[in-house]
């Protein structure tokens, strides 16, 4: 299941059936989400599902955690709303960064965002080939071609000229197309074993399996992150214990100090009861200081 199928917000962010009887044509529009690259895919997905101002959505989000960091938002067959003139037959893929940030973010993040977008495009192309028999070549298309439903890739800013600029002038198209071509090359040279029917290779079932594996990997990643957290909790407790272990030594020092003060007071002819009260008050202050020190 894709994200928007299971997360229903205040307004519809996808249409199960494309309007006007349209079908996905392979015209693929690349976007940037216009948020910091450190935003997680889940946060970005929530931002789409639960916004209440207007429809604005994509088929897939691409992140920077790895070269295959993707979150499918809606079925490829469905319509999402990312580019006004081509929504009906287009497919929208959005990378979590700003159009103007490609040189300002870590090189590894930029690399992963581009490669993840290529990987998401590969998943779409695999589905499109299996379900509609259309191949998306590793090429950029013009605005006129996008409007004519030609399969290929185009930036949002190249269609919605003057209003939008994403994915940005410095988006690495060469890396995107190379990565996509490599992934597609792998699919083309895929040789099924003799028992398998070549016609069922890379079917939606394969795609589902891949989604399952990705979701398992995400779960494991989450689990590992939670272990990291417990380790740091244990470290905190250990640190507190270490401080706490110093308390008996301090108490002994205070007792020795009390005895010394008592002796000095007796020699100076002071009232022992008044002195005791003063010491207890001082001890109270010390206890308070220790309590604070533990935090």
Residues forming contacts to Zn ion in the complex (CB under 5 A) are: 31, 156, 166
8 Å CB contact between 65 and 112: yes
Output the smallest distance, CB 160 to Zn ion, in A.
8
Please name every residue paired with 14 in a beta bridge, in sequence order, or none if there are none.
80
Contact 294, 247 (CB under 8 A): no
Would you say 58 or 207 has its CB closer to Zn ion? Answer: 58
Minimum separation from the CB atom of position 120 to Zn ion (A): 15
Residue closer to Zn ion (CB basis): 53 or 245: 53
Residue 60 pairs in a beta bridge with 72, 93
Give, in degrees to the nearest 5, the angle at Cα 167 between 166 and 169: 90
Nearer to Zn ion, 84 or 142 (CB): 84
Sole residue written with tokens 């938002």: 73
State which H helix or E strand residue 138 sits in.
Answer: none
Smallest gap from residue 67 Cβ to Zn ion (A): 22
Nearer to Zn ion, 31 or 115 (CB): 31
Minimum distance between the CB of residue 237 and Zn ion, rounded to whole angstroms?
47
Rg (CA), the chain: 31
CB-nearer residue toward Zn ion: 56 or 187: 56
**Whole-number minimum distance, CB 142 to Zn ion, in Å?**
17
Dihedral class, residue 144 (left if φ above 0, else alpha if ψ from -120 to 50, else beta): alpha
Rounded Cα distance between 84 and 90, Å, is 10
| CA–CA gap between residue 199 and residue 217 (Å, rounded) | 29
Nearest approach in angstroms of CB 31 to Zn ion is 3
Residue closer to Zn ion (CB basis): 89 or 207: 89
Helix axes 173-188, 107-132, angle to 10 degrees: 40
How many other C-beta atoms are found inside a 10 Å radius of the C-beta of residue 74?
Answer: 24
């Amino acid at each position: 299941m894709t994200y928007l199928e299971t997360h229903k917000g205040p307004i519809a962010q996808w249409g199960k059936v494309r309007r006007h009887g349209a079908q996905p044509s392979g015209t693929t529009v690349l976007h940037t989400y216009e948020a910091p690259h450190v935003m997680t895919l889940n946060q970005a997905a929530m931002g789409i599902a639960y916004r209440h101002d207007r429809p604005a959505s994509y088929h897939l989000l691409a992140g920077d955690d790895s070269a295959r960091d993707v979150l499918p938002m809606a079925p490829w067959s469905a319509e999402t709303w990312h580019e006004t003139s081509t929504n009906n037959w287009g497919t929208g893929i959005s990378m979590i960064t700003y159009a103007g940030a490609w040189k300002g973010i870590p090189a590894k993040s930029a690399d992963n965002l581009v490669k993840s977008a290529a990987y998401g495009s590969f998943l779409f192309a695999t589905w499109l080939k299996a379900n509609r028999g259309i191949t998306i070549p590793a090429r950029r298309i013009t605005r006129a071609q996008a409007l004519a439903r030609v399969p290929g890739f185009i930036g949002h800013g190249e269609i919605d000229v003057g209003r939008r600029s994403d994915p940005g002038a410095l988006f690495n198209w060469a890396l995107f197309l190379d990565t996509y071509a490599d992934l597609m090359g792998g699919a083309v040279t895929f040789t099924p074993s003799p028992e398998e029917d070549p016609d069922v290779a890379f079917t939606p079932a394969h795609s589902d399996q891949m989604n399952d594996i990705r979701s398992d990997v995400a779960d494991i990643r989450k689990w590992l992150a939670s272990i990291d957290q417990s380790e740091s909790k244990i470290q905190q407790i250990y640190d507190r214990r270490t401080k706490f272990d110093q308390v008996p030594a301090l108490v002994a020092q205070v007792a020795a100090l009390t005895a010394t003060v008592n002796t000095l007071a007796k020699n100076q002819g002071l009232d022992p009861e008044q002195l005791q009260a003063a010491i207890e008050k001082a001890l109270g202050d010390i206890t308070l200081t220790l309590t604070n020190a533990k935090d």
